[in-house]
Amino acid sequence: MTPDPGWGVYDRWSRAPSMGQMIMPHRGGVTKRGGFDLLIHFHGHEALRKEFVKAADGVVLVGIDLGIGSGAYSSAFASPYAFKQLLDSVERAVAKKTGKKKAYVRKLGLSAWSAGYGAVERILRQPAGKRVDALILLDALHAGYADERQRTLKVAQIEPFIAFARRAAAGEAFMFMSHSSIVPPGYASTGETASFIVRQLRGKPRRASRRDVLGLDLVQRYDRGGFHLRGYSGDDKPDHCAHLGLMADVMRVHIKPRWKTPKGRR
For residue 21, the cross-strand partners are 63
CATH of 21-265, one of 3.40.50, 3.50.50, 3.10.450, 2.40.160: 3.40.50
Residue 151 has pLDDT above 90, yes or no: no
Confidence of residue 149 (pLDDT cuts 50, 70, 90): confident
Does residue 117 surpass a pLDDT of 90? yes
pLDDT of residue 96: 97
Q: Where are the domains of the chain?
A: 21-265
3-state SS class at 162: helix
d(CA 237, CA 245): 14
pLDDT tens-digit readout, 37-50: 999 999 999 999 99
Q: How far is Cα 34 from Cα 96, in angstroms, rounded to an integer?
A: 11
Q: Note the pLDDT tens digit of each residue in 194-241.
A: 999 999 999 999 999 999 999 999 999 999 999 999 999 999 999 999
How high does pLDDT run on average in the chain? Answer: 96
Closest by alpha carbon to 76, among 16, 126, 34, 150?
126
Torsion of the alpha carbons at 74, 75, 79 and 83, rounded to the nearest 10: -60
User: Distance between CA 237 and CA 239 in Å, rounded?
Assistant: 5
